[in-house]
Amino acid sequence: SQQGEEDPQALSIQEGENATMNCSYKTSINNLQWYRQNSGRGLVHLILIRSNEREKHSGRLRVTLDTSKKSSSLLITASRAADTASYFCATDDWEGGSYIPTFGRGTSLIVHP
Amino acid sequence: DGGITQSPKYLFRKEGQNVTLSCEQNLNHDAMYWYRQDPGQGLRLIYYSQIVNDFQKGDIAEGYSVSREKKESFPLTVTSAQKNPTAFYLCASSPHTGENSPLHFGNGTRLTVT
């Protein structure tokens, strides 16, 4: 199955700075999703961007999608200590008549107060 | 509040024993999923179910079994045939398995087998 790959694997910044995470994938997609996972918890859906969209905003989150480069980026502006978490991208794989999300390994973000 | 409940949060078993992880949702979602997460790894799909009484193998189904007798419930059994069962198991659901259907996750069960 296709898997998105996040970059960097780990990111450490100071509160107030912006955090940028990237995701690359291998084959064409219908949409790409970003999720957040706090330590020891389940994932929480952040944002979905369709293949015909180039940019999407949600609060302090900005997601871009470049289908020609098969890549997406997640920007968190004015980061807070509470943003400390792992962030995953997911693409929908077509499996036997269904779209099944497949996940990358994630970016671990630490925001220092 | 609607959501997904996984229980227990922590589970300890001896090698050679089967163990069943519970997953219940009250979101009225048709689709349910089981993923496995190992340290520093992404999520790998074990099984998914599009509808009651139907389920499909994911990428790493060997050593696992599931059932979907009720819409709300999708239990996962980790059998003794699973070579490396210690992991964090995540259950998820979505309205359907069509496009643009984000997943809702439970808070996971951490299984340790010794």
- Tally A–B CB contacts below 8 A: 67
pLDDT, one tens digit per residue, over B35-52 is 999 987 789 999 999 999
Residue A20 has what pLDDT? 97
User: Sorting pLDDT into bands at 50, 70 and 90, what band is A2?
Assistant: low
pLDDT over 70 at A106, yes or no: yes
Between the two ends of chain A, the Cα-to-Cα distance in Å is 39
Alpha-carbon span B8 to A62, nearest angstrom: 36
pLDDT, one tens digit per residue, over A55-101 is 999 999 999 999 999 999 999 999 999 999 999 999 987 766 777 88
Phi, psi for A90 (deg, rounded to 5): -140, 135
Average pLDDT over chain B reads: 93
Write the CB contacts of A106 (distance below 8 Å, at least 6 apart in sequence).
A6, A9, A37, A86, A87, A88, B42
Alpha-carbon span B114 to B81, nearest angstrom: 14
Of A40, A48, A98, nearest to B50 by CB-CB distance is A98
User: Sorting pLDDT into bands at 50, 70 and 90, what band is B1?
Assistant: low
Q: Which residues of B touch A90 (CB under 8 A)?
A: 103
User: Sorting pLDDT into bands at 50, 70 and 90, what band is B91?
Assistant: very high
DSSP assignments along B47-58, one per residue: EEEEETTEEEE-
Given CB atoms, is A113 within the 8 Å cutoff of chain B?
Answer: no
pLDDT, one tens digit per residue, over B49-66 is 999 999 999 999 999 999
